[in-house]
């Protein structure tokens, strides 16, 4: 699991600047399985820092409350190696408790079934967890209502050089607004 050793103030001014700028306009954000020990300050039972995707502090406290992001929060793929040491079922439960609304299980259908069953059992056991699932489902439905009811055909795009130029211009604007330095060679 990648580990980012930056202080909260350093993260706020650099890495989190694009999220702060874009949060009001983004319908969803994916949270990575990266560790932020200086932000998290909370250690899991096996002595390793929690990944952001399972961290209440990073998802609920920082992303949703401090930054003000109100869209859907997606976990990264729960089948990735970064979550070794915990079952996929426990990772799914922990991700929802942390503030994720959608859980990605991208490789094996039997793992989707395992996660669904674990979430069902936890919702039956804990009414607070059931309320989290209901809130997440409501957020998904609200976003779905904003999408077209039928698939929309993609418009053909023939001039990739124009797209590259637009991306470079937008990147320069974001860097300037967020005070992000040029990447190192």
Q: Give residue limits of the domains in the chain.
A: 8-147
User: What confidence score (pLDDT) does residue 48 get?
Assistant: 65
Q: What's the predicted TM-score (pTM) here?
A: 0.78
**Tokens 């929309």 map to which residue?**
152
Q: Over the chain (185 residues), what is each successive 10-residue block's mean pLDDT?
A: 87 87 92 88 62 93 94 95 86 97 95 97 98 97 88 77 86 73 47
- Return the closest-CA partner of residue 47 out of 35, 33, 30, 60: 35
Amino acid 158: pLDDT: 76
Sequence-distant (6+) residues with CB within 8 A of 178 are: 14, 17, 18, 20, 21
**CA separation, residue 82 to residues 16, 51, 55 (Å):** 22, 8, 14
Tokens 């995707």 appear where? 53
Query: What percent helix, strand, coil does the chain show, rounded to 5?
Result: 55, 10, 35
* pLDDT given for residue 73 in this prediction: 98
pLDDT value of residue 129: 98
Q: Which CATH superfamily includes the segment(s) 8-147? A: Glycoside hydrolase, family 3, N-terminal domain (3.20.20.300)
How far apart, in Å, are the Cα atoms of 7 and each of 13, 26, 29, 159? Answer: 10, 25, 22, 42
Supply 121's token pair: 């059992």
């Amino acid at each position: 699991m990648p580990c980012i050793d930056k202080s909260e103030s350093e993260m706020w001014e650099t890495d989190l600047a694009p999220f702060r700028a874009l949060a009001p306009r983004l319908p969803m954000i994916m949270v990575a399985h990266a560790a932020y020990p200086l932000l998290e300050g909370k250690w899991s039972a096996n002595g390793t820092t929690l990944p952001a995707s399972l961290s209440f502090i990073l998802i609920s406290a920082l992303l949703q409350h401090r930054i003000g992001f109100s869209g859907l929060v997606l976990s990264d793929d729960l089948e990735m190696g970064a979550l070794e040491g915990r079952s996929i079922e426990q990772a799914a439960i922990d991700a929802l408790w942390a503030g994720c609304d959608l859980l990605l299980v991208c490789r094996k259908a039997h793992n989707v079934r395992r996660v669904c069953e674990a979430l069902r059992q936890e919702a039956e056991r804990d009414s607070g967890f059931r309320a989290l699932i209901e809130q997440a489902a409501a957020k998904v439905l609200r976003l779905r209502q904003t999408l077209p009811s039928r698939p929309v055909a993609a418009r053909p795009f023939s001039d990739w050089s124009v797209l590259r130029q637009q991306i470079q211009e937008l990147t320069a604007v974001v860097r300037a607004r967020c005070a992000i330095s040029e990447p190192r060679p």
